[in-house]
Amino acid sequence: MQHQVIHIHPEAPAKPALGVPCNGCGVCCLAEPCPVGVIVSRRRHGACKALVWSDEVGCYRCGLLAVSPGERGSWWRRWARALWLRWARRMISAGSGCDASLDIVAAPGRSDSEAP
């Protein structure tokens, strides 16, 4: 069994059970990037560089999906943006439920309510 330390935002929601819809805990992306995250991060191990913390909603989000929905532009830009979002959602497996079979253990001497 391999041991890995990941640093999770103190306000991040708890990791959901396998198969339960994603809640933005960030555990999977902090442990290793998805296939498209490997390309974006240029690394196969460690946290994905595309992962971003959102203070607004209090959870992690994939930066690949960070496109302003109200942004205007020519028809081909809107079409390209829609195509990109569809492709990115498919690549990160958005909506398929939690697939991170990782066991999360708090650091020794630190409770869930303590900030790093």
Q: From first to last of its 116 residues, what are the pLDDT tens digits of the chain?
A: 577 777 889 889 988 888 898 898 988 889 888 888 888 888 888 888 889 999 988 999 888 887 655 556 677 778 888 888 888 888 887 778 888 887 777 767 655 444 33
Q: Which 3 state secondary structure label does DSSP give 53?
A: strand
- 115 CB-near residues (< 8 Å, 6+ apart): 10
Among the listed residues 26, 8, 11, 12, the one whose alpha carbon sits nearest the alpha carbon of residue 107: 8
Q: Which residue range(s) make up the domain with 38? A: 9-101
Query: What pLDDT, on the 0 to 100 scale, is given for residue 116?
Result: 39
- Do the Cβ atoms of 24 and 59 come closer than 8 Å? yes
Residue at 1 is within a domain: no
- Do the Cβ atoms of 52 and 42 come closer than 8 Å? no
Residue at 55 is within a domain: yes
Q: What is the pTM of this model?
A: 0.73
Among the listed residues 57, 63, 65, the one whose alpha carbon sits nearest the alpha carbon of residue 9: 57
Residue at 17 is within a domain: yes
Residue at 113 is within a domain: no
Q: How many domains would you assign to the chain?
A: 1
Residue at 106 is within a domain: no
Residue at 111 is within a domain: no
